Structure 1
Amino acid sequence: MALSRFGQVFGRWKGAVIGMIHVKALPGTPLNQYGVDQLVEMACTEAQIYKEAHVDGVLVENMFDVPYVKRSSLGPEVVACMTKVCCEVRRIIPRSVPCGVQILAGGNQEALAVSKACGLQFIRAECFVFSHVADEGLMDGCAGSLLRYRRTIGAEDVLVFVDIKKKHSAHAITSDVDIVATAEAAKFFLANGVVITGSATGQEADHNQLHDVASNVDIPVLIGSGVTKENVHKFVDANGLIVGSHFKTDGKWTGKVEYDRVRSFTDLVKQLRGE
């Protein structure tokens, strides 16, 4: 069922390229230097590039809001600003191309609310099952409350892709639970897909983990960090490829999205997919 829904939303089963839009620091965060209209304009500029480069999906994230706070400390201004940004991005990206949102840190219910308001198709969620220690502190599993909230607001058409053994986190407290068991737990708790990453933003994931999870758990598997033109052949069998840093100037997530970098990547992936 999960694989079927992924295919229906993305129009393909494997190798879907999802481009990241890292929204500049939002009002109230330490690095903020732009007004809301400017934030929207910059995000829409990147959305236009992704549209012209023919990506298979777009994911909007408040990456510049460092240092991140846990969900209990997220202010309403974050949800308000991300809603405006996502609605404008959704206007640019063709309806046939799914859009999603992630709100750091752990703002999974907030992401669902934004998705509902803006007509988005998926969210990326942190700490869906088990617990881990992140930069922001201890993060607890949220699957039960998150999916009940999704049902409450009538957003059951929004897919929930969940990070497992998430980057920028310590997993010592679940060291006896391997990544396959974690993926199995995510499936049991009704996740629509799992995201595998490297240890940090821009760090390559372990392709052996992709193989192990995909071979043992009947659920979409996405790669969430470190995919480049040089290594994409290792990961093209994943259902989705979430790419941010590689599409930016000098391959750094803090740079600007560059059309040539995106288009050359999507062209290569199409070749690898046999199109």
Structure 2
Amino acid sequence: MTITILPDVTVLFLLLFARLGALVMLMPGTGEQPIPVNARLGIALTLSLVFYPTVAGTLPQGLANDLTRLVVAMIGEILIGIAIGLIARIMMSVTQIAGTNIASQIGLGFAMSVDPTMGQQGAIVAGFLSVTAMVLIFAADIHHIAIAAIADSYTMFPPGSPPPIGDFADVAVTTVGEAFKIGIEISAPFIVFGLVFNFGLGVLAKLMPQLQVFFLAMPVSIGVGLILFAFLVTTMMGLYASHLEDGLMRFIGP
């Protein structure tokens, strides 16, 4: 390496780091609130070092002597990283949708706790599903698919080209719709349970007006709901893993 090619190498590395840094700050698994910012930057720096030999051929040349092009390219890379990270974050929200729905159906909607994956208060069932999903991502090696998607994003969205805002908007809308769809599918057994159970309570209240239905129903609803949850949690997380894999495969080329 000589002094003449060092500036180009440095500029290309910074361009690579711009997309990965923005993506790592938002991506599930690395963008969680409990993870220190320095640790996220370290992960982004490591990924930049790993990806540089692979994607160096797709990076634009001659930016070291053109400040305007460099700034525009850096902004474009940051926007692409933010867009991909937000789409991945939306896919992760399936657990929040399903967990909140399940909690309201089995009578635990009032039980709130801090969700470490979202950095805010949420239903305790949703927090459990979110943490379980994070463990599942690494246990099932889904993070390997995420790394492959990041690498292929440089082929799908070449650095230096304008960010495809329209395409990202379409993918975001589709991802939001699918997140709600999968969230409802995961919680569907509990929706059926809630309808049947509450209908039965209504009939019981009419037949026996002197019975304190609320005090009888609450422990039964929570107990049966937790038993049903224990039997179905494996199936629910398997459906979530399939949804996450399908979403990440959009960024992997043929």
Q: Which has the higher strand share?
A: 1
TM-score, length of structure 1 as denominator length: 0.22
Structure whose CA Rg is larger: 2
Higher relative contact order (CA 8 A, sep 6+): 2
